[in-house]
Structure 1
Amino acid sequence: MAPQTTPSDPTGLHRVLDAPRDGAVPLPQAARRLDTRPELWPDEVRIRVERLNLDAASFRQLERAHASGGTVDRDALRAEVVDIVASRGKMQNPETGSGGMLVGTVEEVGPASRLGLRVGDRVATLVSLTLTPLVIEDGLARWDARSEQVPTDGYAILFGRSIAAVLPEDLPTPLSLAVLDVCGAPALTRRVTEERYAGGVVAVVGAGGKSGSLSLAAARDAGARHLIGVVPTQAEAGLLREGGLAEGLADAVVVADARDQVALRDAVEKAGGPADVTVVCVDVPGCEGGAILATADCGTVVFFSMATSFSAAALGAEGLAADVTMLVGNGYVPGHAAYALDLVRRHDSVRRLLERRLG
C-alpha cells in the first residue's frame, strides 16, 4: 500500500473527518467519524483484528436497549455494533460514550512508528476503541452477542501516541484480554494506596468483577491493612467466597446496592470502614453519593466506571460537606499492563475468579 505523504499528528488528528469546531479539529475520541483507510502515515501501525473486548457499561446498555419481555434480541444487538463501527469508523457507544479494546496481530509498521511493535506481534491495544480507527470485515458473524468478548475479522489503526502490549505466551488470550482491558485500575489503586494510605482501609465497590478483583489484589500488594469487597448480590458474594476465591483478596465481603447511598455507607462501616480509599468499579450509574459517604474524611475515591457522572460526584461531595479527594481513573499508569498481568500470575484467587467469569 502506498504510504501517506500529507503530515500526520501523533494524536491522530489527521484521521478526524469532522469539520473544525470553533476553529479547532476535535481529537479522535471526541470526533464523530474517523478516516479508516488502511494506508498508513509514517508513524502509524495497522493491526489485523481477531477479537474486540467491549466496555462493560457499553455492553450492558446495548443489552438493555434490545431487551423485551426479559429476552435480548441478540441479532439486533450485533447489528447495532456493526452499524456503530461502520458509521463512525470506530467503536463508540453513542449512549455511554465508551468503547473497549482489541486483540490482533501487527500487519504493518510505519517507518517512523515509536511503539516498539514488529510485524507478526500479537498485541492488545491499551487505548480505547473510541479513538481507534476500526473496520469490521466479517459482520461479526462468529459473535453470539452474549459476551463482551467479540470474535471478528477486520483491521485497526494505531497512532503515534497509541499504546499496545505484546500478549504474553504463558496466559490464555481471553484471560490476557480481560486483564489488559482494565489494567489501569489496579495500577492506580496500588499507587494511591502505597503513596498515601499504606496500612489503611480500602473498599472496592464491584469487587467481583475484573477491575474490582484486580484492585483488591493491588491494594493488598500496596500494604492495605483491611480490604472490604462490596458486591450487589448474594450470588456475587458466593462467587467470591466459593472455593476460597475470596482468600487473599478481601478481609470482608459485603452485599449492598451501590446506588443506595445510605446502605452502601452502612455496609462499609459495619465491615470495618469507613474506607481510606474507595474504588468504584461498577458499570451502573448512580453510585457516586454512596462511594463518597463510605469514605473517611481526607480519604480518596477513585472512579473507574464509565457510568460515573462526574458532575454528580463533584456536586454530591460538596452537598455532603465531604472532605475527600476524587480521582478519575483514566486507564493509563506507566507499567500498568505488565503489573496487571503479574498480579494474575501471583494471585491464584484472582486468576480463578477471572477464569470463572470467562468460563
Structure 2
Amino acid sequence: MPKSDPTGLHRVLDAETVLPQAAQRLDTRRELWPDEVRIRVERLNLDAASFRQLEGEHGDGGAVRAAVLAIVAERGKMQNPVTGSGGMLIGTVEEVGPESPLGLDVGQRVATLVSLTLTPLVIEDGLAQWDGTSEQVPCDGYAVLFGRSIAAVLPDDLPRALSLAVMDVCGAPALTARVVRQYGERGIAPRVAVIGGGGKSGSLALAAARAAGADHLIGVVLTEREAASLTGAGLADSVVITDARDPIGLRDAVASAGGPADVTVVCVDVPGCEGGAVLATAEGGTVIFFSMATSFSAAALGAEGVAADVTMLIGNGYVPGHAAFALDLLRANEGVRRLFTERVQ
C-alpha cells in the first residue's frame, strides 16, 4: 500500500504520474489512508456544463442516468469525458482518518468544495431515486476526501438542496467581490457585466459585485423568461437579452446598457462566449471566466486578434472563505434566494 499524499496522488491508478483530476481512473477502495475522510453520499450536484452536455447527447432521463453510472464505474469519479467537468456533493462524514487535517467529525453533514472530477466515488444504489432530468442527483454511496480537499459543514438554517446549489458555485461571487474591491482600492467604482446573470453563479456574482461597491450592474441573459426573473429579483441595474455566443451582439447589448464593462464575469455553461466577453470589456478591464465550457485558447487568441488590452482570469472555484460568503449573500439578498429556490424546486 503506497504512502498517502495530501493531493490524493496515491489513489491514482494511471501508469503516468498525474494528479487525481487529470487521472483516467482512481482507486475507490473503502479503506482509508491516515489523512483521508470517507463521506456517505446523500446527493450529487452535476455542474451545469456537464449536465447540459449529457442531456443533449442522451436526451432521455434514463439514458442520462445510465451514462452517469457508466462514467463513475469506469473512472472511479464523476468526470464528464466531453466537458472534463464534474460537480460536487453533500453527505455525512462516515469515517475520519487519524491524521486528517480537515477538522471534520463523524456524523457531520458536509458539502465537498472540491470537484467530483478528483473525488473517488462509488455509487451503491444505481441512482434509483434520480430520473436523470435535473442537475441534483439523489445518491447513496461513498466518496473519499484527501488531506488537501475542502469541505464545509452544512448550515442548519437552509434546506440541504439550497445549500448544495449555493456551494456548487461559491467560488464565483467570492472572486468577483475580490476583483471589484481591487478596483475600489484604486478609487474606481466599476461597471460590471455578468453574462448568464440569471443563473446560479451569475446571480451570486451580481449580488457580490453590488456588495463590493460596483457602480453599475448589467445582467445578460438569453431569454425573455430569464430577463423577467432577473429583473424581478432586482439584482441588476440593466438587464439585456442576447446570445452570448454572438460576439457583436453581446458587445452591442452590453454597450446599450451602459457598457463597456470594467469587469465582465462569464457564467454561462456553453462554449463560444469568449470573444463577446472580451469585446464587451473596456480597455484595461478584467474578464473573469467561470464557465467550465471556456476555451483558454479561444479566449487568449481571440483577445490578441482584436488587440484587446484586458486581463483575463480563470476562476478556479476556491477563494478562502468562499462558502460562508456565498451563503451569507443568499441569506441577506431576497432576490438571490428567490432565483435559487426557483432553480432547485
How would you bin the TM-score normalised by the shorter chain? over 0.9
Counterpart for residue 69 of structure 1: none
Structure 1 position 17 matched with structure 2 position 13: yes
Gaps of 5+ in 2: none
> Shift in Å at residue 174 of structure 1?
0.6
> Shift in Å at residue 54 of structure 1?
0.2
Q: Distance in 2 between matches of 1:285 and 1:238?
A: 24
* 1:1-359 superposed matches below 5 A: 6-20=2-16, 25-66=17-58, 72-197=59-184, 198-241=188-231, 244-245=232-233, 247=234, 249-359=235-345
Q: Distance in 2 between matches of 1:193 and 1:320?
A: 25
Q: What do residues 286-308 of structure 1 show as CA deviations (whole Å, max 9, x unaligned)?
A: 00000000000000000000000
Q: What do residues 116-144 of structure 1 show as CA deviations (whole Å, max 9, x unaligned)?
A: 10000000000000000000000001001
> Shift in Å at residue 7 of structure 1?
1.1
Letter of the structure 2 residue corresponding to residue 59 of structure 1: F
Q: What do residues 200-243 of structure 1 show as CA deviations (whole Å, max 9, x unaligned)?
A: 100000000000000000000110000000001111101212xx
Letter of the structure 1 residue corresponding to residue 266 of structure 2: V
Letter of the structure 2 residue corresponding to residue 26 of structure 1: V
- Structure 1 outlier segments of 4+, above 4 Å: none
Letter of the structure 2 residue corresponding to residue 10 of structure 1: P
TM score, norm. by length of structure 1: 0.94
Aligned residues: 342
Q: Distance in 1 between matches of 2:259 and 2:271?
A: 23
- Whether the 8 Å CA contact 2:123–2:142 is kept in 1: the answer is yes
- Whether the 8 Å CA contact 2:267–2:290 is kept in 1: the answer is yes
- Whether the 8 Å CA contact 2:183–2:189 is kept in 1: the answer is no
TM score, norm. by length of structure 2: 0.98
Gaps of 5+ in 1: 67-71
Q: Distance in 2 between matches of 1:18 and 1:357?
A: 38
Q: What do residues 3-37 of structure 1 show as CA deviations (whole Å, max 9, x unaligned)?
A: xx6410000000000002xxxx1000000000000
Q: Distance in 2 between matches of 1:233 and 1:223?
A: 28
- Whether the 8 Å CA contact 2:194–2:266 is kept in 1: the answer is yes
Partner of 2:264: helix, strand, or coil?
Answer: strand
Letter of the structure 1 residue corresponding to residue 227 of structure 2: A
Letter of the structure 2 residue corresponding to residue 298 of structure 1: G
Q: What do residues 92-139 of structure 1 show as CA deviations (whole Å, max 9, x unaligned)?
A: 000000000000000000000010100000000000000000000000
Measured on the aligned residues, the alpha-carbon RMSD in Å equals 0.8
Partner of 2:43: helix, strand, or coil?
Answer: strand
What is the identity percentage for the equivalent residue pairs of Structure 1 and Structure 2? 76
